[in-house]
Amino acid sequence: MDIRTIGVVGAGQMGNGIAHVCALAGYDVVLTDVSADALAAARATIERNMARQVEKGRVPEADRDAALARITGTGTLTDLASADLVIEAATEKEAIKHAIFAELVPALGPDTILTSNTSSISITRLAAATDRPERFMGFHFMNPVPVMQLVELIRGIATSDETYEACRGVVDRLNKTAAVAEDYPAFIVNRVLIPMINEACYTLYEGVGNVASIDKALKLGANHPMGPLELADFIGLDTCLAIMNVLHDGLADTKYRPCPLLVKYVEAGWLGRKAGRGFYDYRGEGDPVPTR
C-alpha cells in the first residue's frame, strides 16, 4: 500500500502534532476540524513548534518550509477523500468517533486505511461500525507528538497483515518506534499510566499528601520527569477520566474505579492546562499554583 497523503481528523493537541510529524516526514497532510479557530490555532502551533526545531538545529529551514507547504487545512471532513491513510484524532468519546466515521467512510476510496488515535477505546468495536474492518487499526501517538518516540499500533480482530505492515511503515518513516498492543481497554501505556494518575488522585483525595508533595515525591522518589498530577493536567483531566471509565467498564474490576475527586474536577470544568485550571491554577503570570 503506497501511502502518500495522510488525512488527520481533529486539529487539537494530538491532531496538530500528528500533522506536524507527518509533513516533516514528507507526506502531504490534510488536516480537518469542525472549528475554523481550531484549524488556525493548529497552524500557528505547528509553525511555532517547527521554528523551535529550526532554532535548535534539529530541522533545516528548507525542510521546515517544505513541510509547512505540505499541510492543508479544511473544515470539510469529506475533503479527506483523496487520503491514502486517515488518522482520526478527535475527542476521546466513542459516539463522536462513530459519527465521524459514518460521515467520512462513504467518501473514501476502497483502499484507504482508516485508523484511530484513540487512547483506550476498542479498535474492534470502532472498526465494526465501518465498511473496512480489515483496513482499520489503532494508531496511538504519545503526547506531545513531535517529542515522544513511541506509537502504539493496535490490531482489531479483523485487521489485515497488509494494513498492519503499511502502518508500521509509516511509523518507521516518521522515525518513531512502534509497540504492538493487543486490543484490550487502554492498550499498554494507558493501562499502566492512567491508573497511576488515578491513584495519585486518591492519595490527594484521602489527604495523604497535597498536590505539591505528591508530585515532588514521584519526581524525586521515582525519577519521573513530571509528577502524576502535573501530568494529569497536561493530558487533560477529562481524558484521564474517560480512560478510567473505559477501564472500569471494560474490565469490570473495582480497582479501576475513577477517583471521586477526579470526577469532581471534571464536573467543575477544571480540566487542566487547556482550561487554565486543574490540579494547578495556570491563570497567573508566575509558576502554576496548586489548587489543593
**pLDDT at 1 > cutoff 80:** no
**Do both 115 and 146 map to the same domain?**
yes
| Domain end (from 132, 148, 181) | 181
Q: What is the sign, positive or negative, of the torsion defined by CA atoms of 42, 50, 167, 180?
A: negative
pLDDT band at 81 (very low <50, low <70, confident <90, very high): very high
The answer to whether residue 288 sits within a structural domain is no
Residue where one domain finishes, among candidates 140, 163, 181: 181
pLDDT of residue 85: 98
Query: Which residue among the candidates 49, 190, 198, 230 is catalytic per the annotation?
Result: 190
Whether 149 and 232 map to the same domain: the answer is no
- In this structure, is residue 286 part of a structural domain? no
Evaluate if residue 268 carries a pLDDT over 80.
yes
C-alpha span between 123 and 126 (Å, rounded): 5
Residue 111 DSSP symbol:
T
pLDDT digits (tens, 9 = 90+) for 82-134: 999 999 999 889 999 999 999 999 999 999 999 999 999 999 999 999 999 99
Quickly tell me which residue has 483506550 as its cell.
120
Whole-structure pTM value: 0.89
Q: Within this chain, do residues 153 and 227 fall inside the same structural domain, yes or no?
A: no
Total domains in the chain come to 2
| Model pLDDT, residue 196 | 98
* Phi, psi of 60, rounded to the nearest 5 degrees: -65, 150
How would you classify residue 286: left for phi > 0, otherwise alpha for psi between -120 and 50, otherwise beta?
beta
Pick the catalytic residue: 88, 92, 94, 152? 152
164 and 195, same structural domain? no
Is residue 134 situated within a structural domain?
A: yes
Kindly name the residue from 20, 122, 140, 198 that is annotated as catalytic: 140
Summarised one tens digit per residue, pLDDT across range 193-246 is: 999 999 999 999 999 999 999 999 999 999 999 999 999 999 999 999 999 999
* CATH (domain of 62): 3.40.50.720
Q: Is 152 a catalytic residue?
A: yes
Instruction: Point out the catalytic residue in the list 119, 120, 122, 198.
Output: 119
Catalytic: 190? yes
pLDDT in tens, 156-198: 999 999 999 999 999 999 999 999 999 999 999 999 999 999 9
Q: Which domain holds residue 30?
A: 5-181
Looking at the domain assignment, is residue 110 inside a domain?
yes
Task: Indicate if 218 and 163 belong to the same structural domain.
Answer: no
Report the candidate in 72, 78, 87 with the shortest Cα–Cα distance to residue 28: 72
Taking residues 132-150, report their average pLDDT. Answer: 96
